[in-house]
Structure 1
Amino acid sequence: MSESREFCPRCGDPVEDREEPLPGMPREKDAVLCDACYFEDFDLVDAPERVEVMVCAHCGAVYRGNRWVDVGAKDYTDVAIDEVSNALGIHLKAQDVSWAVEPEQVDQNTIRMHCQFTGMVRDTFLEEEVVVPVNISRQTCKQCGKKAGGYWASLVQLRGTERVPTADEDARAVEIAEDIIADREEAGDRGAFITETQETDEGVDIKLSTNQLGQAISNRITRELGGHVKTYPTLVTEDGDGNEVYRVTYAIRLPKFTPGDVIELDDDDEGPILVTSSRGNLKGTRLTTGEHYESRFEEGETPPATKLGTVDDAEETTVVTVEDDHAVQVLDPETYEAKTIARPDFFDPEKPTVAVLKSRAGLHVVPESET
């Protein structure tokens, strides 16, 4: 650049020509200074004297602004780097800026951040280093405080109709609840958590942080396991705005019969049914013929019937002879007498043995895939 006829008002040295601002734009007041005087007061980086970071000692969330934020940091050094990065300011005139940071762990609650910066200003290469102490204080966030205090807003109760839920049903209900919580957490919902899971003699109880979770979980359980749900709200308090606050119990009643049960329908003489589904209308397979069965719409998932046993009660026995398309002779697994019983479609005549269930309704072949 060529020298202008302007002189630095601070030292009197000539000032190089500068690019004039666009029409209507104010001229930078420091533009009249020479480079030496300009850089005397120039700071490439604006850094705070220290950074205070509040973290939850239980979940690692960081308090920013007026709320707790899950940052997903591996340790507090990552948190310190992020907080210092957000607190630093780079001069607007700097170009081609790059920086690096080297953390120094002073003690359990203090990390000293050594930050090196480079950039171009007035065609001049600048380097600057700042040291920012980060003080970490450990608190308990609102959600962890609720968890520790046993807070809950909804209760999902898993119960059976005229029976106790199986261990698999209890376990699956808890798994469904955990899956929904995980999905909510991944979406950033810090208020979603399971307060307590309790096994009772009648089935599992799941306490949850919100009523919406109770509704979502009970709906998914009944979609998968069948049954129905009823809600029982209880007024517990009022919030600061005078709104009523309710706790809601979601009482799930699972179907009377489950897949694998063998039942005998009331007022029906066509033979026992192996239940294959209890969602919606009960569905199954006739053990006498192998035909598909589905209850009438008004009977739903629990038609009038008596449970004879389950496929787990079936025993393997010897096939004596295949008499015709509708009958087969097998050995009674208890008395070892040869008995002629119904031959259903799923019976395999090529196999020397077959699984049979003995009940008050007699002896019946059970599908091999169900045993």
Structure 2
Amino acid sequence: MSSGSRSGMFCPQCGDPIERSPEIDLPGGPSDPDAVLCDDCYFEAFEFVDAPERIEIRVCSRCGALHRGNRWVDVGARDYTDVAIEETADRLGVHVDAEGVEWGVEPEQVDQNTIRMHCLFTGRVRETDLSEEVTVPVYIARETCDRCGRIAGDYYASIVQVRGTDRTPTAAENDRAIEIAEAYIADREATGDRNAFITETTRTDDGVDMKISTNQMGQGIAKRIVEELGGAVSEAPTLVTEDGDGNEVYRVTFTVRLPPYTPDDVVDLDDGDGPVLVTSAHGNLKGRRLATGDRYEADFEEGIAPDARKIGERADAERTTLVAIEDEHAVQILDPETFESKTVPRPSYLDPDAESVLALKHRRGLHVLPEPDAADGG
């Protein structure tokens, strides 16, 4: 033991003299009792790095979500090395007195569920350069998250049914309705909503049935389908249970009724002005008169289902020869079945210089249809 020190102070643990430190000069003395220790005693109990013995990461084996805190979080990862590095960084601690700390990590994949994190720390304490290497094993615990558990258990809160009005939806309409639903759910998932999912999609003889995770999302999907495909939505709630507070819990079936007519249908309104090629069924029925080419729009009261009957569709039309222009109201074309020359109405959209036209033959006659790129034109 030395007989004295320049500071006049001695280590309370070993009795060796110590140099005066800035903290000791502060009024009231040092806040950290270790500040009065000599370097040997200080470093004897000093822990540069505080590291856990092991780290466990809970991940969903189905969707790859990560459990953090008390909830599951989508991280969009299948390789969890980056996740392991992040979790390790969050749980490692460096002594508060260390300055100029730098660290690096080298992961070692032991097996599918184990990663060893080799971490090297460097820093400076009491003008002494320090370095320490720690190895932390990270274990990947694979589970099933709440969301995937619900899906696997066939959980759903609402049903969206797609049906036609006095008809069966077309395959294209069914496909598009499913695409709209999937896009809606994807939008909600992108915002971090883990309650958004489609449990099951079933194609039936009548249309499409989709089991949806919540009533709110079922309503949102039904609304989007109507916005694009037309029609209307009806709701039918069914009491299924009561929650813990005694509140009634309902499962709602949202039935989308698509319009009776779709674009490219040809309908007869029995109003004396000839058939109409339907161009839209949103709000109210709209189309083009095949006899004149004039625009047609149903009255507001008639909506999308005026009193009419379908007599054909664009797909039934056949290309045939334009024989002659008789006058501003009539032309001659070849009957696509008998190949006889027949006089038919001349609609405004007919190109008088064309060599051929699309013709639809039905029980009440023969009409020229607009070309596909001109069906909605002026």
Task: Give the TM-score range, shorter chain.
Answer: over 0.9
2:199 to 172, 184, 195: 195
Q: Is residue 319 of structure 1 aligned with residue 325 of structure 2?
A: no
2:47 to 43, 54, 62: 43
Report which stretch shifted further, 221-230 or 34-43: 34-43
Structure 1 pair 248–24 and aligned structure 2 pair: CA distance change class (3 A): farther
* Letter in structure 1 aligned against 2:197: F
Q: Is residue 245 of structure 1 aligned with residue 246 of structure 2?
A: no
Measure, in 1, the Cα distance between the counterparts of 2:182 and 2:112: 34
Describe the superposition over 1:240-273 as per-residue Cα deviations: whole angstroms up to 9, x where unpaired: 222221111001100000000011113x111111
Report which stretch shifted further, 130-139 or 178-187: 130-139
Measure, in 1, the Cα distance between the counterparts of 2:363 and 2:15: 116
Q: What is the aligned partner in structure 2 of residue 273 from structure 1? A: 276
1:325 to partner: Cα distance = 1.9
1:177 to 167, 178, 181: 181
1:258 to 242, 255, 262: 262
2:71 to 59, 67, 74: 67
The two structures, once aligned, show a CA RMSD in angstroms of 2.0
1:354 to 357, 361, 370: 357
Structure 1 pair 180–283 and aligned structure 2 pair: CA distance change class (3 A): same
Matched residue SS, 1:127:
strand
Measure, in 2, the Cα distance between the counterparts of 1:242 and 1:81: 46
Q: What is the aligned partner in structure 2 of residue 158 from structure 1? A: 162
Matched residue SS, 1:207:
strand
Measure, in 1, the Cα distance between the counterparts of 2:281 and 2:129: 76
Measure, in 1, the Cα distance between the counterparts of 2:143 and 2:114: 15
The aligned length equals 369
Q: Is residue 18 of structure 1 aligned with residue 21 of structure 2?
A: yes
Q: What is the aligned partner in structure 2 of residue 335 from structure 1? A: 338
1:76 to partner: Cα distance = 3.0
Measure, in 2, the Cα distance between the counterparts of 1:226 and 1:18: 81
* Letter in structure 2 aligned against 1:329: Q
Q: Identity, % of aligned pairs?
A: 64
Measure, in 1, the Cα distance between the counterparts of 2:308 and 2:29: 89
Measure, in 1, the Cα distance between the counterparts of 2:207 and 2:200: 14
1:93 to partner: Cα distance = 2.2
Q: What is the aligned partner in structure 2 of residue 88 from structure 1? A: 92
1:26 to partner: Cα distance = 5.6
* Letter in structure 2 aligned against 1:324: D
* Letter in structure 1 aligned against 2:314: V
Measure, in 1, the Cα distance between the counterparts of 2:75 and 2:22: 44
Q: What is the aligned partner in structure 1 of residue 61 from structure 2? A: 57
Whether contact under 8 Å (2:226, 2:258) holds in the other structure is yes
Whether contact under 8 Å (1:272, 1:361) holds in the other structure is no
Scaled by the length of structure 2, what TM-score is found?
A: 0.92
Measure, in 1, the Cα distance between the counterparts of 2:128 and 2:287: 84
Q: Is residue 8 of structure 1 aligned with residue 17 of structure 2?
A: no
Structure 1 pair 41–346 and aligned structure 2 pair: CA distance change class (3 A): same
Measure, in 1, the Cα distance between the counterparts of 2:253 and 2:29: 66
Q: What is the aligned partner in structure 2 of residue 209 from structure 1? A: 213
Matched residue SS, 1:270:
coil
Describe the superposition over 1:81-120 as per-residue Cα deviations: whole angstroms up to 9, x where unpaired: 2222222122222232222112223333332221111223
1:23 to partner: Cα distance = 6.2
* Letter in structure 2 aligned against 1:282: L
Q: Is residue 364 of structure 1 aligned with residue 367 of structure 2?
A: yes
